[in-house]
Amino acid sequence: MPKTTTQHTYIGATHQSIAQFLQHSAGIDFNNPYPTASSDPAINGQAESDHFHNVAHNLLDQYYPERVVTRSSRDPSYVTPGIESMLRCKNKLMRAGLLEEGDRN
């Protein structure tokens, strides 16, 4: 059976990105600075919901970007795209001679 490759996306969260996200998001005001002047509460509620969604989505994109990793058909099924990325990082460090750094990852 020939080897096939597929690209998979995953969210690459690191301890540093989580800490930065929590620090930044603690001070964010999710209230809409441009509320609608409509008297219909359904329209106002939808505008508030849309504003919250946009702010939250932008934060997630900024601190947890989607990353792409290529996996082959020969990779074991239990190796997820996130694990594959960590293994590649470790191999890169080991080949560069940074054995201690590679052992920590």
Span 51-86, pLDDT tens digits: 888 888 998 898 988 899 999 889 898 989 988 988
Q: Is 48 helix (H, G, I), strand (E, B) or coil?
A: helix
Q: What is the mean pLDDT of residues 26-45?
A: 68
Which H or E run includes 91? helix 81-95
Report the alpha-carbon distance of residue 85 to residue 70 in Å, rounded: 9
Would you say 76 and 87 are in contact if contact means Cβ atoms under 8 Å apart? no
Q: What is the mean pLDDT of residues 19-35?
A: 81
Which residues does residue 22 pair with via DSSP β-bridges, in sequence order?
Answer: none
pLDDT for 102 beyond 70: no
Mutual angle of helices 41-63 and 15-26, in 10-degree steps: 150
Q: What is the mean pLDDT of residues 8-30?
A: 86
Domain ranges of the chain: 1-74, 76-105
